[in-house]
Structure 1
Amino acid sequence: MVDHTKALAAGAERRLQDLGITLPPPPTPFGAYVEAVTIGNLVFLSGMLPVVGHEPQFIGRVGGELTVADGRKAAEVAILSALSAARAHLGSLDKVTRVAKLGVYIATEGDFREHPKVADGASEMLVNVFGEEKLSGRIVLGVASLPLGLPIELELVLEVDA
């Protein structure tokens, strides 16, 4: 059993280890862009999708082909890809001093209303890795479609030690 108090006192890399979270390989672009850019002490990550090695893990709209639970899981996969991209860019997630912004875009059916429950899949993972004191505000939007027919795309901005 994991001692969550001990895990939260540790740095992000130690928390991942203590919680048994293995990051996927860092994502690679689907087009003409880079996965991460640092400007000053902020790291801007490209839109992160629920893919592993260019293989979609979920296809469809939440509230249609996918359930809220599927959407949450897709958000978790996308945030783990984001963390992997950040680690590859920074060398270590321990350099993150705060989550500056989280945006969660969810492909949904028109009458879907449970966006926050889906987005919590990403937010709760960030709390597990960085702690509540480093969590940001967020924006959650329902959209008609996302690249490749995927249900989730995340926007993440991290503050780091300069």
Structure 2
Amino acid sequence: MSQQHLEERLKQSGIALPAAPQPLGAYIPAVQVGTLLFVSGMVPVVNGKPYLTGRLGAERTVEDGQEGARIAGLNALAVAKSELGSLDRLKRAVRLNVIQLAIPEFTEHAKVADSVSDLFGQLFGAENSHTRSVQGAASLPGGYTVILEVIFEITA
């Protein structure tokens, strides 16, 4: 799959990119180092407001977590567009770190993370897949259900 015209691929898929969320603390949304773009932890925020909080396996279901991870992924893409001027500079997602607020008995972390992996696979193609780390946590800032960190490879 050609990596050109990522923004057009989003439109064709019926995916609307949100505005880039503002940092929720004393950090910047992204840092470019060479041909890598490191995106700060993205949470499921919609229109500047918390969209999904609560623990997986208690107040939240796997499906809720999947929706939150996908929203966080779209927020990461929005930050990338804001930083780079165009999504068409993105070559691929290189690394995902998906941290989930969950009860100790919850074991379906991979299913939750698959929603953002599937989104990026749809946009970048299976041949440009990424590495991934998935963890459960006893607490997360703001009580968010999911926090996503992304490293993108970009064109120079």
Q: Structures share a fold, TM > 0.5?
A: yes
Pairing 1:12-161 to 2, within 5 Å after superposition: 12-161=6-155
Residue deviations 1:70-100, cap 9 Å, x none? Answer: 0000001110101101111111111111211
Can you give the 5+ residue segments of structure 1 that lack an aligned partner in the other structure? 1-7
Alignment size in residue pairs: 155
Alpha-carbon distance in structure 1 between the residues aligned to 2:26 and 2:49: 18
Q: How much does 1:53 deviate? A: 2.9
Which AA in structure 1 matches 2:22?
T
SS at match of 2:37: strand
Alpha-carbon distance in structure 1 between the residues aligned to 2:71 and 2:135: 18
The answer (yes or no) to whether the contact 1:11–1:130 under 8 Å persists in 2 is: no
Alpha-carbon distance in structure 2 between the residues aligned to 1:124 and 1:38: 24
Alpha-carbon distance in structure 1 between the residues aligned to 2:52 and 2:91: 31
Can you give the 5+ residue segments of structure 2 that lack an aligned partner in the other structure? none
Aligned structure 1 segments of 4 or more residues deviating by more than 4 angstroms: none
- TM-score, with length taken from structure 2: 0.95
Alpha-carbon distance in structure 2 between the residues aligned to 1:51 and 1:34: 16
Residue deviations 1:109-130, cap 9 Å, x none? Answer: 0010111100011111111121
Q: How much does 1:11 deviate? A: 2.8
- TM-score, with length taken from structure 1: 0.92
Alpha-carbon distance in structure 2 between the residues aligned to 1:98 and 1:21: 18
Alpha-carbon distance in structure 2 between the residues aligned to 1:43 and 1:49: 18
Percentage identity across aligned positions?
Answer: 45
Which AA in structure 2 matches 1:40?
G
Which AA in structure 2 matches 1:55?
K
